[in-house]
Amino acid sequence: METPNQRLGVQHIQPINTPAQLANVAVQGTHAAPLRIGDVAKVTEDHQPLIGDASLDGAPSLMLVVERFPDANTAQVTHDVDEALDAMAPGLSGIDLDANVFRPASYMTTALASSRE
């Protein structure tokens, strides 16, 4: 805040500074005894997952995302990615690879089969 005669520094001090303080915040909308964030979640201080970080069956993993152009054929892109992964397999020894976790071509095949029933 500044006037012609003085300058006052204004600093907002956060009321929540620790995970324990955040865990103690009540969840709105409960009519019974106050339900706190710590009652329904484990509150920790950490960073967000890094791009590509994933978890599979509780183990740390890496996710490779392949995006296609809007006019590209989903089935063909999936086929080409599968071929590329097969070609790289000899160099990926010791790495478990699951190309079926998120597969748009499989979704499309299932959807088409369901619509024919």
CA distance 37 to 34: 10
Phi/psi zone of residue 94: left (φ > 0), alpha (ψ -120 to 50 degrees), beta?
A: left
Cβ neighbours around 68 below 10 Å, total: 14
Taking every pair of C-alpha atoms in the chain, what is the biggest distance, in angstroms?
81
pTM (two decimals): 0.51
- The 8-class DSSP code of residue 102 comes to S
pLDDT tens over the chain, length 117 residues? 788 899 888 888 888 999 999 999 988 776 777 889 999 999 999 888 777 788 888 888 888 888 889 899 988 998 999 999 999 989 988 888 888 877 888 888 888 888 876
